[in-house]
Amino acid sequence: MSAKGFTLIELLVVVTIVIIIGSIALLTFNQSLIKSRDNRRKADLQAIASALEIYYQKKDKYPCAPNWLDSDDSSLWITDSCNSFAPLGSSYINNLPKDPKQDGNPVVSGSSTPTGYSYLTPPAGSGCPAVGYYYILAAGLEDLNDPDTDKIKNYQYCGGDLGFGFMGNRTDSNVYAITSQ
Residue 152 resides in a domain: yes
Dihedrals phi, psi of 170, to nearest 5 degrees = -65, 140
Q: What is the pLDDT of residue 74?
A: 62
The structural domain count of the chain equals 1
Residue ranges in the chain assigned as alpha helix (H) = 8-59
Q: What is the pLDDT of residue 47?
A: 92
Q: What is the pLDDT of residue 175?
A: 81
Residue 1 resides in a domain: no
Residue 174 resides in a domain: yes
Q: What is the pLDDT of residue 159?
A: 59
Q: What is the pLDDT of residue 169?
A: 42
Q: Distance between the two ends of the chain, CA-based, in angstroms?
A: 83
Residue 60 resides in a domain: yes
> pLDDT digit of tens for each residue in the chain (181 aa)?
566 888 899 999 999 999 999 999 998 999 999 999 999 999 999 999 999 999 889 888 888 887 777 776 566 678 777 776 677 777 788 778 888 887 655 666 555 556 678 888 877 666 677 777 888 888 888 887 888 877 656 666 665 655 554 444 444 567 888 888 6
CA dist., res. 48 & res. 180, Å (int): 12
Q: What is the pLDDT of residue 17?
A: 96
Q: What is the pLDDT of residue 162?
A: 58
What range defines the domain where residue 125 resides?
A: 8-179
What b/e sequence results for 133-161 when a residue is b if at least 16 CB atoms lie within 10 Å of its CB, and e otherwise?
A: bbbbbbbbbbbeebebbbbeeebebbeee
Residue 68 resides in a domain: yes
Q: What is the pLDDT of residue 40?
A: 93
Residue 91 resides in a domain: yes
CA dist., res. 113 & res. 128, Å (int): 29
Is residue 48 within 8 A of residue 89, CB to CB? The reply is: no
Is residue 98 within 8 A of residue 117, CB to CB? The reply is: yes
Residue 134 resides in a domain: yes
CA dist., res. 119 & res. 141, Å (int): 16
Residue 3 resides in a domain: no
